[in-house]
A and B are shown apart, each in its own frame.
Chain A
Amino acid sequence: MAKGVKPRVKVPKKADAGEAITIKTLISHKMESGQRKDSDGNRIPRSIINRFTCAFNGTSIIDVTLEPAISTNPYFQFEAVVPEAGEFHFTWYDDDGSVYETKKAVKVA
């Protein structure tokens, strides 16, 4: 399932050096759990995003392992420190091998 996947990330544009900011991420994905059955009673195979990472200038902030119990369109909110100006790098890893990436730059005021 690699169609219609669109990552959305909310990061403040500016921050003070050393300030803790809240990051919200959402990616549109069906997150097929592998438990559901189609109308013929066949099990729909599992297809989820199994890993999500966020890094700032190469420093890891969070690395999440996802199981099928994560809802459709996985949403995460977490806090990060901004030591200097730079770029947040978000990566999602799909079961089918696809990797979805997005970047957000932050300026230091």
Chain B
Amino acid sequence: MSGATKGKLALYWAASCGGCEIAVLAINEKILDVAALFDIVFWPVAVDGKVRDVEKMPDGSIDVCLFNGAIRTSEQEYMAQLLRRKSKVLVAFGACSHEGGIPGLANANNRRQIFETAYHDTPSTDNINHVEPQPKTEVPEGTLHLPVFYDTVRTLDQTVPVDYYLPGCPPEADRIWDAITAIVERKLPPPGSVIGAETTVCQECPRVRNEKKVKKFYRTWEIIPDSETCLLEQGLLCAGLATRAGCGAKCPQVNSPCIGCYGPNVGVHDAGARLMTALASVIDSNDPAEIDRIIRDGIPDPVGSFYRFGLAASHLRRSKRGNGKAAEAEQAGLGVH
């Protein structure tokens, strides 16, 4: 491909850990092929570039933007809107932009509770003046701004229209390469699709499956599972049956249950609800009191267990905001230090 017809590629991160950026490099020497096919016009983690440069680009001038991370602050939302405007194809890259990911678990709390923990309650914090980040701070030189921290983490497609999704925490290198190839060869699925497999992790898992009947759920540290039998049959809460394939079932193969990072399978909106359906079916009891005990003893954190990656994208999206003492204080206007 000659220089004149080289495509333009942008990569950006919002509320994420940076693992997706590393995952892009996990395609190894193929990154050179990417560099041969695309000019990287914006990639803050690897290439010098300014937001101002992106603002000056004509709309739709970036061919592909791989956007990882959830939307947690006003600055991230601004960048999502900016890159949407400038890009022909916007890809939600990785679990966080796809369905909220680990940052989305913050939706089990609210901003007030998060600030209380982060800036006051942790044992290593010594914040005698009760300082918290403020969106605006007046200094002699003028007003300083910080992005507004939202109460609710949102996914990329709850913020701007998204063309494709590449799930995973992080996406597997092979799947990234599949996506890049599909983009270059213009063999993309219809807009709005997830680029990946259309089956569940169980299909890729080599473990032997029998009839599932579970009397007790165990946490991973409580038992050493045998390496042949299905982990769910052994009482470990494995999300494989409600999770899209594409990872090669890497976790179950090393005795670790699937945690659901690839998100819901095709046609499913709410992976956690599907996981509840499946887990309820395998509980071996028909007595409401015993069922209740099996569930409450074995699954101490139902929100985190069913929605480890998908809370922000789920039907309910978050817990009730007015929950807890900190929230009450905020509503009464007492929470501002």
On whether the two chains bind one another, the answer is no
**Interface residues in chain B, defined as those with a beta carbon under 8 Å from any beta carbon in chain A:** none
